[in-house]
Structure 1
Amino acid sequence: MNARTAPPADHPVVNADTIVRSARTVIVTEAAAIRALESKIDATFVRACQMILTCKGRVVVSGMGKSGHVARKIAATLASTGTPSFFVHPGEASHGDLGMIQPDDILLGISYSGETDELLFILPAVKRQGIPLIAITGNPKSSLARQAEVNIDANVPSEACPHGLAPTSSTTAALVMGDALAVALLEARGFTSDDFARSHPAGSLGRRLLLHIADVMHTGDDVPRVGVEASVSEALVEMTRKHLGMTAVVDNEGRLLGVFTDGDLRRALDDDDVDLRNATVGQLMTPGPKTIGSDKLAVEAAQLMEKHQINALLVTDPSGQVVGALNIHDLLRARVV
């Protein structure tokens, strides 16, 4: 180690055992704090849920410092699980952002001490509008708890910080209480995975739950199809033009009879008994291929392809008519897989 890279003389010595012990103590301490919350899910918690369920406006979540970061996350979780919600910074609220809070809303205030000045300062203005207050605190006798219609107790036995100063267990407990509220409300509203996907359209879950075959399939003239009497060369031209590595083989009414793929061609080339010059595609096709309906989810096509080790699917209607086609590249472009 040269002089440039050497640590300063007073650089602390890393003791692996001490670091591991410290980290594990934090996890054990915070896990105990979470377990202690279970007994606090009581009639008070139920009342808070009832207030939110009957609220005609939004849940406005507010907190300062570390509690503010937790409040932002709780607001986001509520909003994405069927409870309209947003975060308001209590400091900014007293400088104009109170206008964001309307009489039909509910204020959810988060402060472990229950004595956060910025939060308490805006309460008179909130109360004048008749806006109910739900508090999450660690002190049921605090100013915030006393002014709340409902105070959810999130007291913890101890902080994970060895000095008992840095908010650690207390912020974890508040976050868990917020998640408990969100999930309880979600179930009470009958909020489904489809509802969740509609609020996450750009996410992978949204694509998996909302994207249907009709959204990604090729249609009309882009669907490869030939008649049962077509020659192999005609089928190959159709496959090349449509770039899907296969073609549907249909009857005169457009109903699916089979599929001719690159694999069928390779098998025919390996068969000395097949005269490719005179064979029809109907003689070489795979009859009764796997198909899917246009109303199915795109993720179902991916599952079908994986299960049967195929790279493309034909889309048919209830009468057996070919209405579309797609392959694995279409699903990749749609980011379904």
Structure 2
Amino acid sequence: MFVNCDTPKILKNGDFDYVSQNKNNNYQSVVRYRCNEPYYHLVTNTGSDTYTCSPQGSWKDQNGEEEIPSCLPVCGLPDSPILEIQRIIGGKDAPPGSFPWQAMTVISGRAGGALLGDRWILTAAHTVFPKGQSDPEETQTLEQVAEKAEIFLGHTVVTELFKLGNRPVRRLFVHPDYNPNDEHNFDGDIALIELRDPVTLGPDVLPVCLPDPGNSSFYVPGWMGYASGFGVEKNILANKLKYAPIPVASRVLCQDWLQGKKINRRDPVFTANMFCAGSPNEGKDTCQGDSGGALTVRDPATQRWVATGIVSWGIGCGKGYIPTPL
């Protein structure tokens, strides 16, 4: 009896190779699935990546299962990571492939974001619902905002981002603690953007990792993180992605520094859900247009880049600490 299993199932973001001597789809032929490395890794349901053409005319693994593996995104391993501490405000042009999770969002204005997985963008809630828009006629639903939102990924030059095109948004989620009507309190300044279609990962588009729950080592004062963005530099919007090393600051020193500082003539609110980055004596900072971008650190244990916070608010540009939501 002649048995043919037809072409093996297509693996998204991967492929298969014939490993049997008879490289065809007939009985007892063997194939092995693989992912497009290093941007995806193989996840199997039964522990097997090898499938054999069975007497029943279907491809089965060693456990008799027909379901094929999946290719999941690899996070936090850029092709060209920033390795040295170098001198946003006072920042430098980011080399291609160094911050491949960087997104540029245009919702209520230009802002930043960080790719998580292959279809989620982490950003600040105030880039979705800006502070101070209490006029009911100005208020839009999340669905209305999602329809107008523009998301750009895949390049370090703004003009090239526009050429690559907008990534349509499916849904928006804003942290329930965020209050757009309180201009002095940025608690819960976190939002998630779900893209309509997953992006294809590669050297210029790669997600950043999230920290393990309960890991507080990245928030020790002096721990060096990196901020990146397309924000204001020398009073004009940057055309190139900038980055700057910004250390985690002492919570006590940051709180003392904030005393007497005003936002619209009122004291800013610094909550337990925030930490500070930067220094009052350094000129490295983020500015308008950088909001929503991630503060990232390199985990020495895994060598992966991790998003530890979101650029949220500050007092001026290049003038001091950056309070950042956890």
What is the TM-score with the length of structure 2 in the denominator? 0.22
Structure number having the greater strand percentage: 2
Tell me which structure has the larger Cα radius of gyration: 1
Structure number having the greater helix percentage: 1
Q: Kindly indicate whether structure 1 or structure 2 has the higher relative contact order, using CA contacts under 8 Å at least 6 residues apart.
A: 2
